[in-house]
Amino acid sequence: MMSGMAAEIVLIDRDLRRAQGQVNDLRDAEVFSHSTRIFAGDLSDCCSADVTLITAGVSQGGQKSRSEGLQDTGAILHCLVSEVCLQNPRCILVVASNPVDVMTYAVWKWSGLPANRVIGSGTALDTYRLRRRLAEGYGVSSANLHAYVIGEHGDSQLPAFSSARIAGFPLEEFCEQLGLPQDQDVFQKIANETRNAGSEIVEQRVPPITGSEPRWFVSFVRFCKTNMGYWQSQAGSLNRWDWVMSLCLYQASLVGTESCVCCRFRSIVGSGKLEASAGVIRQGIAILSVTRPIQGFTA
């Protein structure tokens, strides 16, 4: 609504009363935003959607990690995806349900859609969290800082500090020119804060949040604006560098791209660490596939 990107937004929830409450809340803010038709609907409304955002899943309140509740969330998405694809066989699905890397791969397989039509939020939020903390530490605008978190959206994620750049300068060179310290302990502290930020927010919010939080929807708008031109043109693989790590990482490759870019990151963080992170995702997929078979997956 604030960006004016969407002409119509439909909120779908098994609790219709809850969805209607969200709709009324958003409608009250319409005077401050662009005019957008917004209403509570059902899965039949997905038939004409340009993009369908999936946030369904079990509450993360009280959980120790994003991987808890894997089977329950998998059961929810398995049924949901089948119905969405029945209503819109050429839909574009954006997955935000945790554990998002596992769920993105599973949704891709369950949907039968081409890989470039099923996209996960991946480490997009983690990347923004890293950039914000680095920007605060060096006293610069986050808009002038570029750094990435790669791997799993979870405990095995990897902040690629050696590829970070401020105002176009590599972080190391920027610090040398201004005489700023490069303390590895500080980097480790930032990495830990970035990794734990999501769970801390869940603990601080009462009652526990179900689905995706407002901060994710902000990044979702950016995501759609970045990729909408591609989706409309159907021109080829998703290859926008700023969002490349939001695709599903699996077996140290990126599902949904024709050209694997992981080789670039291997030189930054070491192939062992990146492959270990991919191994965590493989393990999650293997656990999920026991009760919800995933075509083409072998543990």
User: Which residues are annotated as catalytic?
Assistant: 153
**Distance between CA atoms of residues 153 and 219, nearest Å:** 15
Specify whether the CB–CB gap between 122 and 248 falls below 8 A: yes
Q: Which of 15, 12, 18, 1 is nearest to 40 (CA)?
A: 12
Dihedral (C-alpha) 265, 267, 273, 278: value to the nearest 10 degrees? Answer: 40
**Distance between CA atoms of residues 111 and 104, nearest Å:** 10
**Distance between CA atoms of residues 14 and 31, nearest Å:** 28
Q: Which of 142, 2, 155 is nearest to 68 (CA)?
A: 155
Name the residue with tokens 């270990």. Answer: 276
Q: 211 CB contacts (<8 Å, ≥6 apart)?
A: 55, 56, 57
**Distance between CA atoms of residues 16 and 45, nearest Å:** 14
Q: CA geometry: angle at 107 spanning 103 and 110, to 5°?
A: 135
In degrees rounded to 5, what are phi and psi of residue 209? Answer: -85, 140
Q: Which two tokens stand for residue 15?
A: 């609790």
